[in-house]
Amino acid sequence: MTIRDNCSLADRNTFGMDIRADSLIDWASTDELKNVLHDIEQPILMIGGGSNLLFMGDFRGTVLHSTISSIEVIGGDSDHVHVRVGAGVVWDDFVAWCSINGYWGVENLSAIPGEVGASAVQNIGAYGVEAKDVIDTVQTICLADGSERDFTNAQCRYAYRQSIFKNELKGQYAVTYVIFTLSKVAQPKLGYGAIAQEVERLGGPTLENIRKAVIAIRESKLPDPKLLGNAGSFFMNPVISEQEFNIIRSNYPDVPSYPAPDGMVKVPAGWLIEKTGWKGRSLGPAAVYEKQALVLVNKGGATGVDVKRLADTIIEDVKQKFGITLTTEVNYI
Ligand code: EPU
């Protein structure tokens, strides 16, 4: 375990903002976290790879980060494998490990920034797959009393980019391990737009080719946070009623959409933002990425306030034009 006081978080958030925390604790095991819980300064902020955070200023409290880095096979049968993965494992290292070992389920989630613990909190998703599709159990520690608690998939109350850990139990449980159920039998999911085409070009739907295809598509659309600070999708794709959707479609027959639960319709926020004219435009040192309007970037020296000002302006303009209120996927701290 390492404990650092008055510590910079510049390399702990993918917007690359140089803010500080009163204390930063990297804990490497369940016992280490339990031992340190009694005497840490409140409030507490739990972070993973910092790929979904926008700091509005210094954090006056304790930042907790897990470095549990094991990946172990704990069971399975002829068709499936159960894998227990430490919260601090880099998500894409886990995906690469699955690809090498021939385990199907997470290949469409290749190259998503962040760590395994946060994947279970955010229910990360891409190209027709969400973390919830492969999560069996989320193992946690209760910050209030140090007790261990396992959440089944159903108890996590997963929905699009939502879980119990972002809502009812926000900030209350630290993820230690996530148990995934993966398939030993090929299960390519190629339904999402460009993937099938790219996989075909690479020679067919092997695990490796799907991983390569997803990485290539992401690289062509999304900025590398090491080169240009960003947090992936800044907004969630709004889910609206069919009635609201039909009104938009009557004015814009080409509006893209995906079916959502309960007869609702999901509309790409990137499309809505592009239609307001914001794609590629800047407001001070914050900008809308030129190849994907859902991504806000730090052109250099932007503060959380700068990025929020841009986000608020976009929300206002989308509201004016379409009557839809965008909500952020990024968490303001
Ligand atoms: N579009 C535009 N203009 C844009 C961006 C998108 O018109 O600037 C339209 C296009 O018609 C495109 C459609 O929106 O066909 C969908 O775009 P894309 O495939 O890029 O996906 P998205 O809906 O914008 C979501 C996730 C991404 C994920 C992709 C692929 C959310 C909030 N975002 O984006 O997740 O990679 O689908 O599955 O659901 C993330 O969460 O950080 C993230 C990158």
pLDDT per residue as tens digits for the range 151-197: 999 999 999 999 999 999 999 999 999 999 999 999 999 998 789 99
Strand pairing category for 2-8 and 53-54: unpaired
The confidence score (pLDDT) of residue 192 equals 84
Ligand 1: distance of its center to the CA of 80 in Å?
31
E-strand stretches of the chain? 2-8, 20-27, 44-47, 53-54, 59-66, 71-76, 80-86, 125-126, 129-130, 135-142, 148-152, 173-183, 229-233, 239-240, 258-259, 265-266, 282-283, 286-288, 295-298, 331-332
* Mean of pLDDT values over 43-56: 97
Which one-letter amino acid corresponds to residue 189? K
Quote the tokens at residue 243. 């009635």
pLDDT category at 279 given cuts 50, 70, 90 is very high
- Rounded CA-CA distance 182/102 in Å is 10
- Residues lining ligand 1, CB < 6 A? 126-127, 221-222, 232-233, 236-237, 256, 268, 270-271, 274, 279, 292-294, 329
pLDDT per residue as tens digits for the range 196-252: 999 999 999 999 999 999 999 999 999 999 999 999 999 999 999 999 999 999 999
| Dihedral angle sign, alpha carbons of residues 51, 159, 289, 318 | negative
> Is the confidence at residue 38, as pLDDT, over 80?
yes
Closest C-alpha residue for ligand 1 atom 27: 126
pLDDT category at 253 given cuts 50, 70, 90 is very high
Ligand 1: distance of its center to the CA of 140 in Å?
31
- With b meaning 16 or more CB within 10 Å and e meaning fewer, what string describes 263-292? eebbbbbbbbbbbbebbeeebebbbbbeeb
Per-residue CA distances from 110 to 59, 119, 214 (Å):
31, 12, 6
- Concerning whether 161 is annotated as a catalytic residue, the answer is yes
Ligand 1: distance of its center to the CA of 222 in Å?
10
pLDDT per residue as tens digits for the range 65-84: 999 999 999 999 999 999 99
Task: Name the pTM for this structure.
Answer: 0.97
**Residue 107 contacts residue 67 (beta carbons within 8 Å):** no
Ligand 1: distance of its center to the CA of 289 in Å?
12
Q: How many Cβ atoms sit within 10 Å of the Cβ of residue 79? A: 8
Whole-number mean pLDDT of the chain?
97
SS (H, E, C) 39-54: CCCCCEEEECCCCCEE
User: In percent, how much of the chain has pLDDT > 70?
Assistant: 100
Ligand 1: distance of its center to the CA of 270 in Å?
6
**Residue 40 contacts residue 26 (beta carbons within 8 Å):** no
* Mean of pLDDT values over 90-119: 98
Closest C-alpha residue for ligand 1 atom 28: 126
Can you tell me which residue has the tokens 């926000």? 170
Active-site residue (options: 161, 163, 198, 211): 161
The confidence score (pLDDT) of residue 193 equals 72
pLDDT per residue as tens digits for the range 287-323: 999 999 999 999 999 999 999 999 999 999 999 999 9
- Concerning whether 329 is annotated as a catalytic residue, the answer is yes
pLDDT per residue as tens digits for the range 114-125: 999 999 999 999
Quote the tokens at residue 296. 């806000």
Closest C-alpha residue for ligand 1 atom 33: 233
Mutate to test the pocket of ligand 1, among 112, 218, 271, 295 (most ligand atoms within 8 A of CB): 271
- Rounded CA-CA distance 90/108 in Å is 16
Task: Give 125's Cβ-side CA count (13 Å radius).
Answer: 17
